[in-house]
Amino acid sequence: MRMKLFLCVALLTGLIAKSYTLDNGLALTPPMGWLAWERFRCNTDCVNDPQNCISEQLFMQMADILVNEGYAQLGYDLVHNLNLKFGIYEDYGNYTCAGYPGILGYLETDANTFAEWGVDYVKLDGCYSLPTEMDAGYPDFGYYLNQTGRPMVYSCSWPVYQVYAGMTPNWTSIIGTCNLWRNYDDIQDSWDSVTRIIDYYGDNQDSMNPNAGPGHWNDPDMLIIGNFGLSYEQSKSQMALWTIFAAPLLMSVDLRTIKPEYKAILQNAAIIAVNQDPLGIQGRRIYKENGIEIWARPISPVEGDFYSYAIVFFNRRTDGTPSEVSVTLEELGLTEPGGYDITDLFDGVNYGVVLPSKRFTVDVNPSGVVLVRCEVMAAKRKQRGSILKGVNGHSPARSLKFPVRSLKLNMFVSEDIQIAIGLIKGVNIG
């Protein structure tokens, strides 16, 4: 029997005609889970390193911790007998990136094998394959996954290989085939790697964001929180920005040894709730100047044309002292007359109701963030069932406009530098 390694998900039930359309009802919010790759790589030396090698023991230990220490209850899933989901890794090539057998020549066989094994999530990489063949190959494998009749989330690396080859990905086909997809470099255990991904998502948001929404997500790669490369502040920054991206939250960390303060970041239920917001709108960078960035993501509840928001104030400065950022909500595009109930999602402080004209001030640590949830008060007074009012039956992430108007932002940092910029006019994110 041909043997493989490990990873993640996707699909729908068998159809009479050969259909490649993804309509499996899966991943309506960004997938969450634990993966081995970034932390443990392909360490198969179980003689000399039994605690860290890729083995049944490692995965079962992680699965037990997911359940016993509260991760699963928050949405991080794995392994059936613990009421978790099971994912696997493969490659649309002759070999995987680590040199194990790929699926070329065995697409139908492997899809059926995964279904027989009870796989819930399939990650299909693209090493040792031709990017020019991926427009046919990835949908073909998706078709065979569909034909098994077993729902499996389908995670694709299709776009990133084509971008690197100088091709323009067929996003209509990708969105119609995959539940999530990689579009940039593999993450490494370093702050430089994290910031390069953040920059890529900000610099390319106009082309990337319209592709994301319930059932189909941009994937910036794994959370490396709790490993070796990020400080505490930087770890909070990754969690906050991945939440604004509406990104999959896929941990790759040794859950046996993670320190409590990093575990608390990964288990922050208020932040996870924003990540899993049912509107599924990917957020945007709305300000970037002098080492300070502001990112905004529309979330529920919604009242008419007024969204609630998650706002991240991100300090890229390295001058050793927190930066004070002072803005009015109106300058950020939050204009509902009744105001917004504001809560800091890391420290839990509630600032009460802030009106659009009032100034809101935060101190942001170097390489750190402040993440606040701004709930529109008019919607909070109504039942939660009305949060999709005005969507007119369409997928919110593909039919709503990002409600940032042509505004000026007056921002003050700790050195009394006043910055004035023009923000984006209403940008269609769908």
- Does residue 210 contact residue 428 with C-beta atoms inside 8 Å? yes
Element (H, E) at 261: helix 260-266
Q: Which of 91, 110, 120, 125 is catalytic?
A: 125
Q: What is the DSSP string of 44-90?
A: --TTT-TTTSSSHHHHHHHHHHHHHTTHHHHT-B--GGGT---EEEE
In the residue annotation, 341 being an active-site residue is answered as: no
**Is 428 strand, coil or helix?**
strand
> How is residue 217 written in tokens?
């997500």
Strand pairing class (87-91; 32-34): unpaired
> How is residue 373 written in tokens?
């949830």
In the residue annotation, 203 being an active-site residue is answered as: no
Pairwise CA distance, residues 105 & 91, whole Å: 12
CA atoms within 13 Å, Cβ hemisphere of 109: 9
What sections of 205-245 are H helices per DSSP?
205-208, 232-244
What sections of 307-390 are H helices per DSSP?
377-380
> How is residue 285 written in tokens?
């960078």
Vertex 126: Cα angle to 245 and 75 (nearest 5): 40
- Does residue 56 contact residue 78 with C-beta atoms inside 8 Å? no
Pairwise CA distance, residues 302 & 387, whole Å: 5
Length of the chain (residues)? 430
Terminus-to-terminus CA distance in the chain, angstroms? 45
Q: Which of 186, 189, 199, 344 is catalytic?
A: 186
Pairwise CA distance, residues 334 & 365, whole Å: 24
Q: Which residues are catalytic, by number?
A: 125, 186
